[in-house]
Amino acid sequence: MSRSPDQFETARRRGGRARGGKSERLSCPAVTATNISDPFALAHEASAKLAELTGADGHDLAVVLGSGWQPAADEIGTPEVEIGMDELPGFAKPGAVGHTGKVRSVPVGDKRLLVMLGRTHMYEGHGIEPVAHGVRTAVAAGCRAVFLTNAAGGIREGMQVGQPVLISDHINMTARSPLVGANFVDLTDLYSTRLRDLARGIDSSLEEGVYAGLPGPHFETPAEIRMLRTLGVDLVGMSTVLEAITARSLGAEVFGLSLVTNLAAGLSVGPLNHEEVLEAGRVSASRMGRLLRSLLEAA
């Protein structure tokens, strides 16, 4: 089944939602953006370029690897093609350390994965559209589900550095939305119960938590962490929430997985730094990659 540009726009307007069960890949024909200020036309242009560079007529599942997750990429599968994000319309190389800015086309079983090694963060100062562009491009390329990973500070008592946590819900504290206009998308079950159940079937030790997305780039204060804990937050980071909303608005199934790379401010013995985040990712890379590989095969 293919999705035309008009259908892509209709899904956006209606806040299309993915429910239960698997769906077919939605392949997207090449589209030339006549106005690059239109984010949906730009996503179609990027998906057409992606098809040209990878030789694949579409992709089934998208994976976005966050800070500290890059070493896990090789565990997911051997790429047939790897390109720079800046080779695709609307993309720029991510500015955060640990985000390599590569896009891989990876065959896994009967599926083709679109693996993004990095993302654009809101704190990089490019606005909201580049943050959502990767997910929009993935859906335009046919991806029926988007797997979002991130590095997070652990807030809930008992969380350990190196622990993977399934995102069951989020609180968007960026004060922004990737959606505009009368686009009233239901986020009640934003993070797929089906995919979380599959993940727990693979690793029964996985816990769930509520993730709070803040704008960054500074880490939170101890007082802010106490506030977040009072609100019922278990994990805190600087990404994911806007991408998840974007994916849901386009009808894709959403899965979120955080890697606890540090204990949040006021809970750790030393100062917070980004190198700590990257090191936790390196240590946990093999486990995270194997988990994702198994989940993607089953999804």
Residue of 59, 121, 133, 170 marked active site = 121
10 assigned to a ligand binding site: no
Q: Give percent of the chain above pLDDT 90.
A: 72
Residue pLDDT, tens place only, 158-206: 999 989 999 999 999 999 999 999 999 999 999 999 999 999 999 999 9
Q: What is the DSSP string of 141-198?
A: TT-SEEEEEEEEEE-STT--TT-EEEEEEEEE-SS--S--SS-----TT-B-HHHHHH
Structure tokens that stand for 97 in this block: 């350390």
109-142 residue pLDDT tens: 999 999 999 999 999 999 999 999 999 999 999 9
238 by DSSP, 3-state: which?
coil
Query: Would you call the peptide bond into 217 cis, given omega within 30 degrees of 0 as the criterion?
Result: yes
Are 54 and 105 within 8 A, CB to CB?
yes
Of the candidate ranges 92-101, 113-122, 204-213, 248-257, the one whose mean pLDDT is the lowest: 92-101
For the whole model, what pTM was predicted? 0.88
Options 67, 150, 249, 284, the catalytic residue: 67
pLDDT at 2: 38
> Does residue 44 carry a catalytic annotation?
no
User: Superfamily assignment of 5-298 in CATH?
Assistant: Nucleoside phosphorylase domain (3.40.50.1580)
Say which of 82, 124, 279, 297 is annotated catalytic. Answer: 124
Arithmetic mean of pLDDT over the chain: 88
